Amino acid sequence: MTHRPARTSPAKPDSPRKIGLARALSKLGYCSRQQAFELIRQGKVRLNGATPKNPETPVRLGTDRIEVQGQALRPAGKMYLMMNKPRGIITTAADEKGRDTVYALLPPDSTWLAPVGRLDKATEGLLLFTNDSEWNAHITNPGTHLDKTYHVQIAAVADSALIESLERGARTENGELLRCKRASLLRTGEKNSWLEIVLDEGKNRQIRRILDALGIEVLRLIRVSIGPLQLSDLPKGANRPITSAELAALNRALG
């Protein structure tokens, strides 16, 4: 199947409001903000002919000239990718323990892309990347209540009482009430079951924590959709551009 990528027309210059130099490098798609801090402190970044050492030096994108090691930076085209994240991979640019990260799975010659939210090390499935920081913030804003669907294998035989408990909610050890928007049984065996769980908020490790509060062990956790965007048959560890039609549908879901 041939996918038509979302249009990547050059980004429009930002408003005259100034931002920090490190953030500017990230917004221009050159590198992460953390990497930008190091480049600036090493004197490899020039701003209007000067070499500032303060990563928070104010910059007006679209007006000021920024160079990295002699290369003038231009706004990158907007990019939107989806990945089928494998289990055991960290959602970060670099890991102090030397563990594999999702960036090892991205095209090596692509512009800098940030993950849209995170999946923990043990969680698999749909993960989005973009260099569109405003779109990223909109997707991850809890106020949008965008549905995210997961398939969950549990070490228990599920029944209607468990489904009701997931939707009614359970309190964690610290007293926080966690609930699922919807839950249903996909299939069950002699010792375990597969559930479909839908969330519309982004609390940290929400599914694992609510099942733990109910005394249920999670064996596998796979995110299969974000709004109308489906993981579908994307191979594990692979990535592809989000198509124009998919991007339009997702933006409609965001309102």
H or E, element range at 148:
strand 148-154
Assigned token pair, 147 = 């549905």
Are the beta carbons of 61 and 216 closer than 8 angstroms?
no
Assigned token pair, 43 = 């004197």
Q: 120 an active-site residue?
A: yes
The single residue of 14, 95, 120, 233 carrying the catalytic annotation is: 120
**Residue 240 bridge partners (DSSP):** 82
β-strands 218-226, 124-130: how paired? parallel
Percentages of the chain per state (helix, strand, coil), in multiples of 5: 25, 30, 50
Assigned token pair, 239 = 């990535």
**Residue 126 bridge partners (DSSP):** 84
Catalytic residues: 120
